[in-house]
Structure 1
Amino acid sequence: MSDAYSPIPELNQLKEFQDSLGGQFFAPGFELMKYNKGLDWFCGDAPDAYLDRLIPFAYATHSGSYYALWRCDDRTDLATLPVIFFGDEGDLWVEASNLRELFQSLALEPDDPEDRARLASSRQRYLVWLQQNFGLAPLGNSDDVDGENLASYTQRFAVWVSEFASDDLLDDVLSALGVDIPTP
């Protein structure tokens, strides 16, 4: 059995980097968690075939929000799957089209001046790591994100949730995503 953190090389590299920081954060609230630890609370009584399509891998905030990969199709390169943000207060959105885009967004300078000061050294190390390992720089602004692609994934995610969600959960998801799904 492999000692790798996950079956995704990009996440394994990030885990090695995170471990090299000795407990320091490089982005506010971001921390890899146990890979694919389960999402029973989000999906309620959904069949395993649905639960297996969400792969949690990181905390997104200090308060319990997290990121999960969404198996929106049967592609084999899991690093190319969209990343869904699940907020601890009901927030929900498609954060990135793939892991590398998430990595770039994690490299953005924090808004909070205290976070900027506290994370300065580890963030600089992350920027070097990101460039050396993937040839990537932080996202410059919202124009660097493929908004059409995120919107498409958002709509597809809402339709997917409608396949198994209770009416209450579906209403919450549609409200959080800010979308409607077509009715027949």
Structure 2
Amino acid sequence: MTIPELRLLQEFQDRAGYGGYSECFGLDDFNDTSGLEAGWSKDPDFLSRLIPFATATGGGSFYAFWRADDRDDLATLPVVVFGDEGGEHVIASDLRDLLRLLTYDTEPSVDHEEVYFYRPEGAERSNAHEEFVTWLGATFGLAATDAPGEIVEAAQAEWGERFAAWKAPFLDY
């Protein structure tokens, strides 16, 4: 499975460094389901609908595409974050929305109840943050966001209930 947007992001990451353009974010081994198997479910039906692709936090949270349907363009699938201390939430309606979230330049806070972004005023940016924002605009025509909650809320309004219903039979809580 090739996702052109991820290939281009990987090329950018190779220059900027893992975690060098958005706090704690880095592309990982595409479709490595070991984290899902260890923390959520080994059920093949569960694993077949999730495609892990990136680290989300310094603690081990990660992002995955959720195959909500059988569309061919994986970049248009909703993105889910799985928290290292539990919790799983739709965080972006598609890959481009996740890329915009990365411009906020802070890792998400994930627990069983919610996911949100918080950056203290005056917090330092990642070394290649400005280069990333410029690259994102030039490559995809996407603007940075200072309102990550709006992107997350829109994704959850569109996909949240459906994701919750889908995951429920696989998880023990």
- Scaled to the shorter chain, the TM-score interval is 0.7 to 0.9
Instruction: Give the letter for the 1:122 counterpart.
Output: A
The aligned counterpart of 1:150 is: 156
Matched, 1:17 2:25: no
Name structure 2 gaps, 5 residues minimum. 107-118
The aligned counterpart of 1:180 is: none
- State the aligned residue count: 159
Matched, 1:83 2:75: no
Q: Distance in 1 between matches of 2:82 and 2:142?
A: 25
Q: Name whichever structure is richer in helix by fraction.
A: 1
Q: Distance in 2 between matches of 1:151 and 1:24?
A: 29
The aligned counterpart of 1:116 is: 124
Q: Which moved more, 1:36-45 or 1:121-130?
A: 36-45
How big is each residue's C-alpha offset from its partner over 1:37-80, in whole Å with a ceiling of 9 and x where there is no partner? Answer: 0121244241x232111000000011101000000111111001
Work out which structure has the larger RCO, using CA pairs closer than 8 Å and 6 or more positions apart in sequence.
2
Q: Distance in 2 between matches of 1:15 and 1:78?
A: 16
Instruction: Give the letter for the 2:97 counterpart.
Output: E
Q: Distance in 2 between matches of 1:100 and 1:148?
A: 13
Q: Distance in 1 between matches of 2:4 and 2:165?
A: 30
Q: TM-score, normalised by structure 1?
A: 0.77
Q: Is the 8 A contact 1:28 1:115 kept in 2?
A: no
Matched, 1:30 2:25: yes
SS in 2 for 1:7: coil
Instruction: Give the letter for the 2:63 counterpart.
Output: Y
Aligned-residue Cα RMSD (Å) equals 2.2
Change (3 A) 1:161 1:22: closer
Q: Which moved more, 1:19-28 or 1:93-102?
A: 19-28
Instruction: Give the letter for the 1:40 counterpart.
Output: E
Name structure 1 gaps, 5 residues minimum. 1-5, 172-184
Q: Looking at CA atoms only, which structure, 1 or 2, has the larger radius of gyration? A: 1
Q: What is the CA-CA distance between 1:93 and the residue it aligns to?
A: 1.5
The aligned counterpart of 1:174 is: none
Over the matched positions of the two proteins, sequence identity in percent amounts to: 40
Change (3 A) 1:31 1:64: same
Q: Distance in 1 between matches of 2:159 and 2:93?
A: 8
The aligned counterpart of 2:55 is: 59
Q: What is the CA-CA distance between 1:108 and the residue it aligns to?
A: 1.4
Matched, 1:40 2:46: no
Q: What is the CA-CA distance between 1:150 and the residue it aligns to?
A: 1.9
